[in-house]
Amino acid sequence: MRVNVKRLLARQLAALAFAGLLAVGLLVLGPNLVIAGKYEVLQGDARVVDGDTIVLGTTRIRLEGIDAPETTQACGRRGAGQWPCGHEAIRKLTQLIGTNLVRCEDQGLDKYGRTLGRCFAGTVNLNAEMVRTGYAWAFVRYSQAYVAQEAEARAAGLGIWQGDAMPAWEFRARAWALAEVQAPGGCTIKGNVTSSGRIYHMPWSPWYEKVRMDDEGRGASRGKRWFCSEDEAVAAGWRAALSR
């Protein structure tokens, strides 16, 4: 039997290279997916959706362990008045990323099927830094990872800690309760069809009030539809609206 020495040598070299990557815990599986140790890592140019959400490629990633003010949310200012903490959280996250590629360690999925990630821009841990600078709360209901950073920001009176600020999870719950009174059957999520596709809007979305639903039932009408949960909307093929 003839043996193609060159082909055999190439295969052996490839096998050695593969083993080497596994040994150092780094295996590239494509332009945006890497296996690093025990984590799957998404990496690439990031688009900021809101203060705790980014998009890498086609993957929407929720920064794990933190909760930033919603885009429409305002917080108390030191002394008196309010400041647009939701918009400022977006600005801060955008600033932290700058021109860096972002890499996110996949931490699994949340209850809505969204990817949770611990994300870095260069050496900066975006999750931790958003909390440490006062632009997000530690989401202690789900994680204790950033309690120390929150304590540091609170002690210094930074960002959301400079005055009264309703935690984002309470802000969402209040917005949901108010919308639920008017929505048919308590199904508060609005879906509409745009040039960008089928989009759904949560009650705290900046576009929520601008979407005028012209049907009283839950059925589709003129490209619009009510949903009772994000799970239902996603299963029907709709995607969440951008916050800006």
Q: Tell me: the pLDDT tens digits for 215-238? A: 545 545 567 888 988 878 878 888
pLDDT at 162 over 90: yes
Nearest to 141 by CA among 62, 230, 65: 65
Q: Tell me, what's the pLDDT at 215?
A: 54
The pLDDT confidence band at residue 197, using thresholds 50, 70 and 90, is: confident
Tokens 């600033």 identify what position?
Answer: 95
The pLDDT confidence band at residue 154, using thresholds 50, 70 and 90, is: very high
Q: Which tops the pLDDT comparison, 196 or 175? A: 175
Tokens 């005028």 identify what position?
Answer: 212
The pLDDT confidence band at residue 243, using thresholds 50, 70 and 90, is: low
Least confident of 34-43, 58-67, 117-126: 34-43
Give residues with Cβ within 8 angstroms of 162, minimum separation 6: 75, 76, 77, 78, 134
The model carries a pTM of: 0.73
The DSSP bridge partners found for residue 126 are: none
Instruction: Please tell me what DSSP assigns to residue 219.
Output: S
Span 16-29, average pLDDT: 40
Instruction: Please tell me what DSSP assigns to residue 108.
Output: E
Cα separation, 61 vs 40, in Å, equals: 13
Q: What are phi and psi of 53, to 5 degrees?
A: -140, 135
User: Taking the domain 39-165, which CATH number applies?
Assistant: 2.40.50.90
pLDDT at 34 over 80: no
Nearest to 120 by CA among 98, 103, 145: 103
β-strands 59-63, 115-121 pairing: parallel
Domain ranges of the chain: 39-165, 169-240
Q: Tell me, what's the pLDDT at 131?
A: 98
Q: Which tops the pLDDT comparison, 22 or 78? A: 78
β-strands 189-194, 224-227 pairing: antiparallel
Q: Tell me, what's the pLDDT at 214?
A: 66
